[in-house]
Structure 1
Amino acid sequence: MTTATLKLYDYPLSGNCFKVRQMLAWLGVPYRTVPVDFFPGREHKSAAFLADVNPLGQLPVIGDDGFLLRDAQAILVYLASRYDPQGRWYPADAKLRGEVAQWLATADEITRTASAARLHDALGYHHLDIDACRAGARAVFRVLDDHLAERATEGLRWLASAPESTIADLACFPYVALAGEGGISLDEFPALRNWVWDFRHLPGFIGMSGIFPAGPA
């Protein structure tokens, strides 16, 4: 029996951790979970975690055969580069990689706004400016919705110009799908809602609490 060498420092309710779990599932990479008590224990801010795992006090983090890497988007790039030799999730074409990188940056903005609104409402982070978080989330959702609507006129469904979904979609997906937990409705973003539906119906989608896999047709 082969022992998994890859470790994932994980919190089940984190959308950023979900991204990594989903990527590992799609790539078929075995791993072992190192649970981190994000809430209410705030273990990610402990002296030991800051010293030994991530000095920024954030999740997720992976350890792969001695290589420690933080930041969800960086981890997606690494996993797809190392474990997807066909380039299904991170295409080698320079223009596509530029597009993917653009949407990975957008994913950080979604985390800063929509995820923060969810932390405020669901986990009691009441020091956050909830109105600013929701306004910021709606602004970035408008960018996504307009882009996806334009893509649809070209017969395309995904954020990058590839015929299949990429890590760009995975990076942006969870905190859009969980937006309702931060008091943000997707009703005014029809193209974005369709994209969430399409993503949930991808083969092998595992889901998380609040984002369930699509049922059988």
Structure 2
Amino acid sequence: MITLYEFALSGNCHKVRLLLSLLGLDYQSIAINGGERQHKAEAFIEKNPFGQVPVLTDGEVTIRDSLAILVYLARQYGDEHWLPNQAAALAEVTEWLATAANEVALGPNRLRLHYKFGRPIDLDDAERITSNLLSILQARLKQHDWLAGAQASIADIAVYPYIALAPEGKIDLAPYPALIAWMHRIQALPAYVGMPGMWTAK
């Protein structure tokens, strides 16, 4: 049985829930109580020494970090389009995984943490990173339906949640129509699941 340890309002946890649903995988969700700091308790630290969610277990396998979990699920249970084998195509997906871990985390994610949860951040830096990121995504998606390859891949799943949650970070997505069209395509995927606060078509 696959088990996902998660926070309900985490975009990183959502990307794992989304891929699990798109792959049609049954799993058990275990909500971790952040207010009680369950993710810092000794029992959880044994699963992830960084004390962070999500963590996924699959039989004897335990994986920390949302992007590592996406890689595992795509390779273990998905078709090749989710995570290609061919070197150049695999590198293209990996580029966007790195973007999710860097620019998306440092831009839209931090703005959401600030405005929704009150976390202090360097606001100017987060806004600068976000503006540059959205411009790059817009340019890419004007020419391509998906971030990497001809079908949805874990590149899209990795980047999507904190872009869709951007309104909670006071980010206006209206100037980026190709980005909005891409979110439409993701939300139209069979077995798509969202979460509270995500952008949806008016």
Alignment of 1:101 onto 2:101? no
Instruction: Structure 1 unaligned segments of length 5 or more: list them.
Output: none
Other-structure match for 1:188: 175
Number of residues paired by the alignment? 201
Other-structure match for 1:27: 23
Q: CA deviation at 1:72?
A: 0.8
Q: CA deviation at 1:57?
A: 2.3
| TM-score calculated relative to the size of structure 1 | 0.85
Q: CA deviation at 1:106?
A: 0.6
Q: 1:212 to 1:117 in 2, by over 3 A?
A: closer
Other-structure match for 1:157: 145
* Aligned pair partner of 1:131 in 124, 133, 152: 124
Give the share of equivalent positions with the same residue, in percent: 39
- Measured against aligned partners, the alpha-carbon deviations of 1:28-58 in whole angstroms (never above 9, x if no partner) come to 22211121123x33432x2425631212222
Alignment of 1:118 onto 2:105? no
Alignment of 1:89 onto 2:77? no
Q: 1:121 to 1:41 in 2, by over 3 A?
A: farther
Distance in structure 2 (CA, Å) of the matches to 1:204 and 1:62: 20
Distance in structure 2 (CA, Å) of the matches to 1:91 and 1:213: 29
Q: CA deviation at 1:195?
A: 1.0
Distance in structure 1 (CA, Å) of the matches to 2:158 and 2:129: 18
SS of the residue corresponding to residue 180 of structure 2 reads helix
SS of the residue corresponding to residue 34 of structure 1 reads strand
* Aligned pair partner of 1:145 in 138, 141, 152: 138
Contact 2:167 2:197 in 1 (8 A): no
* Aligned pair partner of 2:67 in 65, 68, 73: 73
- Measured against aligned partners, the alpha-carbon deviations of 1:153-199 in whole angstroms (never above 9, x if no partner) come to xxx30011x22111100100010011110111112222212211221
Q: CA deviation at 1:122?
A: 0.8
| TM-score calculated relative to the size of structure 2 | 0.91
Q: CA deviation at 1:134?
A: 2.1
* Aligned pair partner of 1:201 in 188, 191, 194: 188
Instruction: Structure 2 unaligned segments of length 5 or more: list them.
Output: none
Distance in structure 2 (CA, Å) of the matches to 1:41 and 1:128: 23
Q: 1:17 to 1:158 in 2, by over 3 A?
A: same
What value does the CA root-mean-square deviation take over the aligned residues?
1.9
Other-structure match for 1:64: 58
